[in-house]
Amino acid sequence: MTIKVILLIIFFGTMFLVGMYTRKHATNVNDFVLGGRTVGPWLTAFAYGTSYFSAVVFVGYAGQFGYKYGIASTWIGIGNALIGSLLAWVVLGRRTRIMSNHLSVTTMPDFFGKRYESRALRVTASAIAFIFLIPYTASVYNGLSRLFGMAFDIPYVVCVIAMATLTCAYVLMGGYMATAINDFIQGIIMLGGIVAVVAAVVNGKGGFMEAVKSLAAIESDVPVTLGQQGAFTSFFGPDPLNLLGVIILTSLGTWGLPQMIHKFYAIKDEKSIKSGAVISTVFAVVVSGGCYFLGGFARLFDTVAIHNTDGSVIYDAIIPSMLSSLPDILVGIVIVLVLSASMSTLSALVLTSSSTLTLDFLKDNIIKDMNDKKQLLWMRMLLVFFVVISVILAINPPTFIAQLMGISWGALAGAFLAPFLYGLYWKGTTKAAVWISFLSGVGITVSNLMFKYITSPINAGAIAMVSGLILVPIVSLMTPKLRKDYINKVFSCYQEEVIVEKKNALPETKRKR
């Protein structure tokens, strides 16, 4: 217990000191929300990765999908790295930075408002973001608190409140720069921690080959492969179709999440984009791949502790049960690891929600003449409000972790992904198509929550995202286009010439006639 407490004190103290140090970087709206758009590759890449992976992944997703799909759940981590990180940086990073700076936007709803010349779109997007970031935040609290309960026997409510208070404190002080520096520190902890934990758990079952052998002997209880041995060690697992749905939601979903896209707004320069893409991809391979690989051995820890009295599986209890037998020093590392992942995600969520509600909903719509000082004050007040609401929801969550995240990601990415992606590349994307994407993304997620016509909320979220990608171009071809002079002005930022060294770009060779 002493080791665990010492590690926590060091961790909490470091986070608080960073908040104090970065106060000077949060004196105006641009610095508070974007760090002055001067954040380098390492800080940006780690901020992206640590915001991506939290207790939701380590406790909720790794446990649930590792139990369902076995070692094949590692494909989720690979998808997160290649699609959710590498491809996201390549496809979105540079264009997002260029156009967001050109349009002087600081949030995703602000992008929709200026890119499509519509205040109504901006206000609606801010409302969607604020509402559906809350269940995601609650799921993060939930996952972390389960681990705290296992390690310290501390009541769930105390864990939630303590974590919310500390996160709120350092974001209030330092804004985006505080979250970026803390994310870097937390990311290093996550990288080392996940490697140590995976090695310890697998060795506890006799090593990798022995663990795989034991897992292969377990008969599948999944309807698709019922009674089959070796299903949990097969290449695509016992249920490939549902596994694909999880990969789509958790990988492609990042392309439409405001707190993830926000990282691209703050990138410093071209070098930061290239380096950040590589760093965030490697980070995702180790952290996400390691989490799901660890969860793949969940069936070897199938004890009474992870089952309800009716025999149903308590998915959120799987990872804590796997870790409960580790030495105190490793349990302490795990706690700090998941705390790092969760607090980085929470800081991104609360900063995104408060800035979005202030800049896109209140400013110029409800409160007129908001100067810089008033905007900062409102952002800080709403940050506290958002934390309080999410804590209330987290104390009595409506369903288990993975479903909370599925609802949030499905609605947000389903609504925002397609119009944001097409908006960066295609002049022909119309205002009506954006409205349709908002309606389909939120509509599919919410209606399925009520009527459950799609069995899994995870698959519902994946369908919502894919639907937007199909509907937006179809509707755009059938509806009135934006003013030609306006849209040409928006896209003019891509035609601006810049001077670079030859080592970065070869000069064009003129043909001799």
487: in domain: no
Residue 140 near residue 345 (C-beta atoms within 8 A): yes
Question: How many angstroms separate the Cα of 274 from the Cα of each of 91, 173, 253?
Answer: 12, 30, 22
- Within 10 angstroms of residue 439's Cβ, the number of other Cβ atoms is 15
491: in domain: no
Q: What is the tally of structural domains in the chain? A: 1
Kindly give the parts of the chain with pLDDT less than 50: none
| Residues 113-124 as b or e (16 or more Cβ within 10 Å = b) | bbbbebeebbbb
Residue 113 near residue 281 (C-beta atoms within 8 A): no
307 bridge partner residues: 313
227: in domain: yes
426: in domain: no
Residue 367 near residue 70 (C-beta atoms within 8 A): no
Question: How many angstroms separate the Cα of 388 from the Cα of each of 141, 162, 210, 395?
Answer: 12, 12, 47, 11
Question: Can you tell me whether residue 104 is helix, strand or coil?
Answer: coil
pLDDT on residue 143: 62
490: in domain: no
Sign of CA dihedral 325, 151, 292, 283: negative
pLDDT on residue 294: 92
Ranges of H-type helices in 153-239: 156-203, 208-216
- Within 10 angstroms of residue 9's Cβ, the number of other Cβ atoms is 10
Question: Can you tell me whether residue 399 is helix, strand or coil?
Answer: coil
Which helix H or strand E contains 40, and what residues bound it?
none
Residue 42 near residue 212 (C-beta atoms within 8 A): no
Residue-wise DSSP of 417-475: HHHHHHHHH-TT--HHHHHHHHHHHHHHHHHHHHH--SS-HHHHHHHHHHHHHHHHHHH
171: in domain: yes
| DSSP designation for 234 | S
| Structure tokens belonging to residue 408 | 């949030």
441: in domain: no
pLDDT on residue 136: 76
| DSSP designation for 222 | S
Q: Which residues contact 278 (CB under 8 A, 6 or more apart)?
A: 45
**CATH code of 200's domain:** 1.20.1730.10
Task: State the residue range of the domain holding 327.
Answer: 2-396
Residue 114 near residue 108 (C-beta atoms within 8 A): no
pLDDT on residue 152: 65
| Residues 461-494 as b or e (16 or more Cβ within 10 Å = b) | bbbbbebbbebbbebbeeeeebeeeebeebbeee
| Spatial CA neighbour of 62 closest among 305, 287, 333 | 287
Q: What is the pLDDT of residues 360-371, one digit of tens each?
A: 888 877 887 788
Q: Which residues contact 317 (CB under 8 A, 6 or more apart)?
A: 63, 146, 305, 306
Q: Classify residue 6 by burial, with Cβ atoms within 10 Å: 0-12, 13-18, 19+.
A: exposed
